[in-house]
Each structure stands twice: as structure tokens, then as C-alpha cells.
Structure 1
Amino acid sequence: MQALTKHRLSLSIFFFLTGVNFSSWASRIPTIKTNLGLNEAELGTVLLAMPVSSLIGLPLSGWLVSKYETRVPLLYAFLLNAICLTFIALASTSFLLVSALFMFSMSMRILNIAMNTQAITLQKQYDKKMNGSFHGLWSTGGIIGVGFSTLLISLDVAMVPHLFAVSGLTIAAALYFYRYLLQNDKSSAGNKLTLSKPDPYILYLGLLVFFAALCEGGMFDWSGIYFQQVVGEEVFTAGYFIFMIFMALSRFISDRIIDKIGMPATYMMSALLIFVGIGLAVLFPSFWPAMIGFSLVGFGTAAVIPMTYTLAGSSPKYSAGIAISLVTTFGIVGMLIGPPMIGYLAHAFNLQVSFVAFALAGVLLIPISKMFFKLQRDA
């Protein structure tokens, strides 16, 4: 049990640090937009670099988690991810920013697959649900990252020393905790992708992740700008901060919620919270209604992805690493479509109207989850 505890602690640290790195970049998006003089549509185009590079990284990430112990690609991808933060900070043109984001997202793709494969394997060894708590630590890292960013922004600290400091600290921590990660977890079966008609088990789970990622990724990229331009808050990280707090809270208790009401009801609850939260923020675009709305959206989106990864880990056709990689691809497509779509809708209409797309995506979780559980019952 002591060895399992060390594995869980070290993996928790990596989830936490990944959240710190991601939120540190995301909280500086309004700064980057201003520094490079980008409008909403141009920013949306720049953000395309991230999901495109993640899609390109699909075969690489799947191959790495099936070829090696997952801790190997996990460490190297994390180091590259942290180093890319410094390149993002130094990018002085749109081309350099796109190049930095491309590598940042590619490394995150590999990192997420490796971390989640370790989490599913460890969860099976403990024989109890804990994937939600790992993702809760990712969100907690996000809270720490955006809280630190908010402090530095209020003190007028420039982006370059900020992201350099985050990169150096997270690299040092990762190198220390790597030694305690789970070893000898390479799967011996289910590692081969077959080119045939889509597996319905993976397809339905993928669609759930797609719509959750569309909401989650869009909120990461646009919540700060929404508070800056629509709500009119000078400290524009407030909306992103409250979104991350409630996402973390939800993920820490999601495993208990699932045990109490079951996965089908949890998907329905998530969908309703997203819809109501976005409705509040759009219909009443002032500080407190928007804060409450973003809180509900954070609570609603949080459980969907870890819950769906847990289901993917039980795929009857593929190993956990391959199944999670396939399902994650749908999430990447959601992130590919979401942030640029919001940018283009905002440019064509306004940012307030564009957020309605998140509410629609949330509602679609209900029929798709119903189809998946019907498939599961029939099987």
C-alpha cells in the first residue's frame, strides 16, 4: 500500500503542475491579444494551432503509451510543455506565437494521454474511483496558476518573468517526483488500431468528450476576454478564476456524486448546470450574475471528461491507453472548433451572443449519454 500511495502522490503532483502551466498561459491570453494587436477573429485563428497540433500528435501519443512505460513519455512531454511557456512569453509576432503554441499543445497531448492512462491503471489497483480527484488536482493547479497570474497582473509584473518563473519551478518539481511514478504499466493487449467502421462504444464517449471540451476549452480561452469586454472588469481573470475554483470543487466530489446518483444522472446534471450557467452570464452580463453563471458552468463541465475517461478505460476492444487516446481525439476536435468558433461568432455578432454555443453544447450531453448507456445495457 505504501508503494501505491507514492504512485498516487507523484501522479497527483503531475496533474497539479500541468494545471499550473496551462492556466498560466491561458490567463495571459488577453495580454497577448493586446500586445500583438489581434482582433477576436485573428485570436481565434491563432488558437487553432493548439487543437491542430494535438490532432497531428494522435498517432505519436498512441504509439508512445503502447511502446513505453507511460512515465517515460509523461516526463519528456511535461518538460517540453514547461519549456514552451518561455517561448510563448517571448513570441513577438503571430507566427512565433503559433509555433510556440503548436509545440505546447503537442506536448500537452502526449502528457494528458500518459497521465490519464496511469490514472486509470492506478484506479484499478486501488479498486475504487479516484480519476475525478486527479482531474480535481489539475483544476487546483489551474486555480493556483490563475491566482498567481492575477496577483502579478495587479502588480503590473510583465508576462516574460511570470512565465519564466512558472516554467523553472514546475520543471524542478517534475524532475524530483518522476522517480515515484507507476512503472511497468505497458499494456500487452489492445494496442492495435483497426481501420473499420467506428466502434460505437468509443464513438459515443468521444462525442461526450467533444461537447465537454468545446465548453471547457472555450471557457479557458474566452472567459477572461468576456469579463474584460462584456462584463467590463479591469481584473479580467475573475471569471476564469471562479470557473476554475468550481471546476476543481466539482472534480474532488464527482466520484462521490457518481456513487450516489450514478453516471447517467451525473451527465444530465452536468448538462443542466452548463445551460443555466451560460444563460445567467449571457442574459445578465454584470459582475455577480456572470460570476454565478461561470461557477455553474465550471461545476457542470468538470465531471464529464474524467467520468468519460473512466468509461473508456473499460473498453471491450482497446487497451486503456489506446481507448483514452481515441476518445481524447474527439476532445481535441472540440477544442479545434470551440475557441475559433467563438472568435468568429463574436466578430460577426458579439461575444455575448457567441457564448450561447456553450449552452447548446451542454444540452447535447443528455441525448448522447442516453444513447451510450442504452448501448452498454444492450451489450
Structure 2
Amino acid sequence: MTQSKTIGQFLSSIPPENTATRAAFFLAGFIMAVWASMVPFVKLNLSLDEAHLGALLLCVGLGALVVMPFCGGIVAKRGARFLLRQALFAIPVILFAINFSTNTILTACLLFLFGMIFGSVDVSMNVHAVEVDRRSEKRLIAGFHALYSLGSVVGALAMAGLLNVGVELLIAVGALLVVCLLIWLFASPKLLSDAGKAQGPTKSFVIPRGFVLWLGLICLLLFMIEGAVLDWGGVFLVEEKKAAIENAGLAFAAFSTAMTIMRLLGDKLIASVGPRACVRYGCLLGAAMLAGCVFFANPWLVIALFFVLGIGLANVVPIAFASTADQNEMPMSLALAAVTTLGYAGQLTGPALIGFVAKASSLSFAFAMLAAFLVIVSFSSNIFRKK
């Protein structure tokens, strides 16, 4: 009885806005995992080849890039809650509608809209997270990002489980998205009404400058590396390290698993050693691991290096996002929108850049270039606060 009361007291002591923010991050990762599970079915239903599928998938990123620069202005005027609450109710509906499309152009339009809404989720969710983290005595930002990763894992496993026991795609997707809507129905009223809202009039869009621009460029490089590991890690293992093609996915699996684990531990680590040290030594560790991937030939050792790479980089992006609250050059919501947009630009352009560099030289040289980028970021760590 005492234990039950203690658990109840613990749960009641958690600020409701913390719970709502965790729910938003978890649901965002969960929904993206559901979409990832749908991709092979979309390819099959529309009879697409790899090139056309790639162009179709690009619509999601382009939709996000179009809307994200303007989300900061909306949040600054209306607050993160206004945008986040509506967007997380709308996005499951759009995703479910994609299942009924039998036309490539219509599907591309729906995916562009999906990307736009998810881009608004990303900006408003991170603005709300930064504000909750700023008001809390404890650091929370890395834990929020960990829940996005956890949601991705749970969503992928849930889709795989339902499809493997014979549930039809439409029913599986519909059931999981209904669960998302119900969770958000209960969680969304707990969002802060004033998170990200600027004091006084503000512009809808501001070109990033100074500290904010530097943060954005750091995120561009970091997202570029994450995109490269996602799209090229398996190819690198197979073509450069002669791994069996069945093991190609282990590179990104190791990387993302380490990211999830470290983000769950990240808030205590950041509070202990400080943001500046986390960025400096995390990026140097990552650079060493990428260099090791280039020089070592054993594929299993390279997979282990990808795991340590995830450990090094896990908390750098959360720190960069949280640092938008440490400047006075523009409203935090506009700053975070700019930083997030530059990050997405890196994630979209990174894999293409790696392809061009690999064609001109080699994939190993391209990965060595990514290691050099991380060294540059580590030397930029002084822009972050010590504690």
C-alpha cells in the first residue's frame, strides 16, 4: 500500500507539461515509423521503380522545408501549443489517407502535405521542449529526443508485429493511428499555452544571423552525418568492408540504438559535465569513430564503431536546440525554426553530397570528410555555455 502511494505521489509530482511534451516526441517518432513501414506497400501499389520512389519520398522533406521557416513566426504570435496541438491531430489523418491513393501525383501531393504538417510538428514540438527545459530545475531536453527514438522503435515493432500475424495493412495502420489520436486527445490539453510566444510584435520570418546562424550550420553538419549513416552506412559496409548484404542494416541499427540509449542518459550527463564538454568531446569521439570506419577492414568492428559514433553524437543536436533559448538576437521560436530548417536541409542534401564525393573519389574518402566536419564542430563548442 505504501509502495503504491509512493508511485502515485511520484506520478502526480511530474509537471503536466513534461508529460505532454514526452507524448508529443513519442508520437512523432511513432508516426514516422508507421510511415516507414508503409513505404514498400506504396511502392508496390503504385508500381514505382527505385528512382521514382526516391522522387516521391523527397516530397516529404521538401514539404517540411517549405513550411518550417514560417512556423517560428506562427509560434511567436500564437504559441507552440496552437500549432502543435492541431498538427498532431491532422497528421494521422493525412497518413491514413495515403493508403487510399492509387495515383502517383495525388500521393506526391499528400506526401508534400504530410511533410508540411510534420515540419510544423517538429518546430513547435522542439520550441515547447526548449521552454519546458528552460523552466525546469532539471535538464530534460535529451530525454525528450530519446522518446522520439523510442517511439520510432515501438512504432516499427508494432507495425511489424501486426503485419506478421496477418492483419491487413489498412487495419494495422488505422488501429495504430487511432491509438495515437487517443493519446494526444488526453495529452494535448496539458501543453503550455505561452511556450514560444514572443513578447510584443514579431516578424513572421527572420533570416538567421550570428549565434543562431552558427547553431544552424552546426545542425546542418550533424543532420548531414545522420542522413549519410542512414542512406550510405549499409552501402559502405557492403561495398567498402565486404560485409554480407543481409547485414547492411546493422550500421544504422547500431548507430540509432546508441543514440536512443545515450539520449535517455543525456540529461544527467549534460548537467554533470556541461553542454560545451558534451559537444567538444562527443564530436571528437565521433570523428575518431568515422576515421576508424575508414581505416579498419573488419565489418563487425566497423559496426561497433558506428555504435560508438551514436554515443558521441547523441546529445549534440538536443544541446544545439536548447541553446536557442540562450540568445537575444531573435525570438526563441524563430531561432529554433531557423536552426531546425538548416538541420533538415543538411539531412536532405547530405546523402546527395556523399554520393557526388564518392563518385569523384571513394565512399571512404566521403566518410573521412564527415570526420573532418565533426572536428570543425568540436572546435565550435565554445559558443555553448559551460554549465
Shorter-chain TM-score: what band? 0.7 to 0.9
The secondary structure found in structure 1 opposite 2:152 is helix
Q: 2:72, 2:335 within 8 Å by CA — same for their partners in 1?
A: no
Partner residue of 2:4? none
2:264 to 252, 259, 265: 252
Partner residue of 1:361? 370
Partner residue of 1:187? 198
Partner residue of 1:305? 317
> What amino acid maps onto 2:62 in structure 1?
V
76-85 vs 320-329, greater mean Cα deviation: 76-85
> What amino acid maps onto 1:10 in structure 2?
A
CA distance in 1, matches of 2:238, 2:164: 14
Indicate the structure (1 or 2) with the bigger Cα radius of gyration: 2
Shift of 1:328: 0.9
Shift of 1:57: 0.3
Q: 1:205, 1:372 within 8 Å by CA — same for their partners in 2?
A: no
The secondary structure found in structure 1 opposite 2:15 is helix
1:14 to 1, 17, 24: 24
Q: 1:207, 1:368 within 8 Å by CA — same for their partners in 2?
A: no
Shift of 1:169: 1.6
CA gap 1:231/1:22 in 2 versus in 1, 3 angstroms:
farther
Shift of 1:6: 1.3
CA distance in 2, matches of 1:219, 1:30: 21
Q: 2:70, 2:337 within 8 Å by CA — same for their partners in 1?
A: no
After TM superposition, the structure 1 = structure 2 runs for residues 1-379 of structure 1, keeping only pairs within 5 Å, are 5-29=15-39, 32=42, 36-39=47-50, 41-92=51-102, 94-152=104-162, 159-185=169-195, 186-189=197-200, 191-192=202-203, 199-220=209-230, 231-232=243-244, 239-278=251-290, 288-289=300-301, 291-341=303-353, 354=363, 357=366, 360-371=369-380, 373=382
184-193 vs 227-236, greater mean Cα deviation: 227-236
Shift of 1:303: 1.1
CA distance in 1, matches of 2:278, 2:118: 27
Aligned sequence identity (%): 25
Count of aligned residue pairs for this structure pair: 372
Q: 2:276, 2:381 within 8 Å by CA — same for their partners in 1?
A: no
Shift of 1:266: 2.0
Shift of 1:291: 4.0
Q: 1:86, 1:164 within 8 Å by CA — same for their partners in 2?
A: yes
Shift of 1:34: 6.2
CA distance in 1, matches of 2:229, 2:99: 21
CA distance in 1, matches of 2:237, 2:250: 7
Shift of 1:155: 5.3
CA distance in 2, matches of 1:204, 1:156: 50
Aligned-pair Cα RMSD in Å: 3.7
Shift of 1:104: 1.7
CA distance in 2, matches of 1:126, 1:267: 22
> What amino acid maps onto 1:38 in structure 2?
D
The secondary structure found in structure 2 opposite 1:57 is helix
Please list the CA deviations of residues 332-368 of structure 1 after superposition, one character each: whole Å capped at 9, or x if unmatched.
Answer: 211221244456778x699xx6586455335313324
CA gap 1:195/1:154 in 2 versus in 1, 3 angstroms:
closer
Shift of 1:208: 0.8
Shift of 1:49: 1.7
Q: 1:190, 1:318 within 8 Å by CA — same for their partners in 2?
A: no
CA distance in 2, matches of 1:332, 1:269: 24
Q: 2:23, 2:187 within 8 Å by CA — same for their partners in 1?
A: yes
> What amino acid maps onto 1:323 in structure 2?
A
Shift of 1:249: 0.9
Q: 1:279, 1:356 within 8 Å by CA — same for their partners in 2?
A: no
Q: What TM-score results when the alignment is normalised by the length of structure 1?
A: 0.82
Could you list the runs of 5+ residues in structure 2 that have no partner in the other structure? 1-9
227-236 vs 108-117, greater mean Cα deviation: 227-236
The secondary structure found in structure 1 opposite 2:213 is helix
Q: 1:75, 1:178 within 8 Å by CA — same for their partners in 2?
A: yes
Q: 1:44, 1:341 within 8 Å by CA — same for their partners in 2?
A: no
Shift of 1:33: 5.2
Q: 2:290, 2:370 within 8 Å by CA — same for their partners in 1?
A: no
Shift of 1:242: 3.8
Q: 2:227, 2:351 within 8 Å by CA — same for their partners in 1?
A: yes
Q: 1:120, 1:310 within 8 Å by CA — same for their partners in 2?
A: yes
Shift of 1:83: 2.2
Q: 1:208, 1:304 within 8 Å by CA — same for their partners in 2?
A: no
Shift of 1:9: 1.1
Shift of 1:205: 0.3
CA distance in 2, matches of 1:176, 1:314: 32
Q: 1:224, 1:240 within 8 Å by CA — same for their partners in 2?
A: yes
63-72 vs 42-51, greater mean Cα deviation: 42-51
